[in-house]
Amino acid sequence: MDWDTFRTERQRAGRPFVVAHRGARLVEAENTLRAFLLALAQGADALETDLRFTADDQLILFHDPTLERMTEGSGLVRDHTLADLRGLRTRRPDGVLVPDRIPTLAELIAATGSQTPLLLELKDPLFLQEKYARILVDTLETGGVLRRSALVSFHLEHVLAVKAVRPDIPIGHITLKNPWPRRGAQLLGPLWPLMYLNPTYTAYAHRMGSIVAPLDPTPETRLPRYMAWGVDAVLADDPAGVLAIIQRLAGK
């Protein structure tokens, strides 16, 4: 499945797809290969992760601009080389440090056999520069996942900068404020209260040919409403739990 056929496959499945938010992050250290592989084992249909660059321009999976919350290290991610970061343990949700290392995007692609749809949030402003946009495009092309990868950001200019390098790459926009679908984005991630402000959001987005995946990594209590609205995908901190609820609601 790729993002071009996402809507068709979603209709065939008869339920929203589950996108693991930073992997199975309630159990394992977020954005680690162990967390992603567990999420897939739990039934996640796609994986969401965050992209940043190291000091030596390696593309890694890491949410925060600094290391303190998720590792035993300190300081800005951008100030450390990949070799530096390889020496750091990551932190599970219970605070315990584990030997799982910060992975690169290429490692995630290899670990999933280039078969898993990826939702890639561009965290680093460096993506505005052509050099760094090309690093991302080249990584996705080499890994054979260009059409299986959708780029999203709170800053639409970040994804547009990459699209300028590779016009056919799927892009998306995350918003905290706009209750109306934005044109020019194949995937839309409105903060969940915006959908309650505008219950026609999904219908309008579908008329524009866009996919809707609300910004709501803990959607359990809102799943009945999301399914009634016909959203295409839901984020999930707990992929197994969210999938179980969806299957029950869908009668599967």
pLDDT digits (tens, 9 = 90+) for 149-192: 999 999 999 999 999 999 999 999 999 999 999 998 999 999 99
Using CA atoms, how far residue 105 sits from 51, 62, 120, in Å, is 8, 10, 10
Direct distance between the N- and C-terminal alpha carbons of the chain, in angstroms, rounded to an integer: 21
- Using alpha carbons only, give the angle 208, 205, 233 rounded to the nearest 5 degrees: 125
Domains of the chain: 3-250 (3.20.20.190)
Residues 6+ apart with CB under 8 A from 40: 20, 47, 112, 116
- Both structure tokens of 151: 């780029």
DSSP 215: B
More confident site: 2 or 143: 143
- Both structure tokens of 94: 């219970």
Give the pLDDT confidence score for residue 242 in this predicted structure: 98
Structural element, H or E, at residue 47: strand 46-53
Q: Which among 205, 200, 196, 209 is positioned nearest to 170, based on CA atoms?
A: 209
DSSP string, 182-204: PTT-SEEEEBHHHHHH-TTHHHH
pLDDT digits (tens, 9 = 90+) for 78-126: 999 999 999 999 999 999 999 999 999 999 999 999 999 999 999 999 9
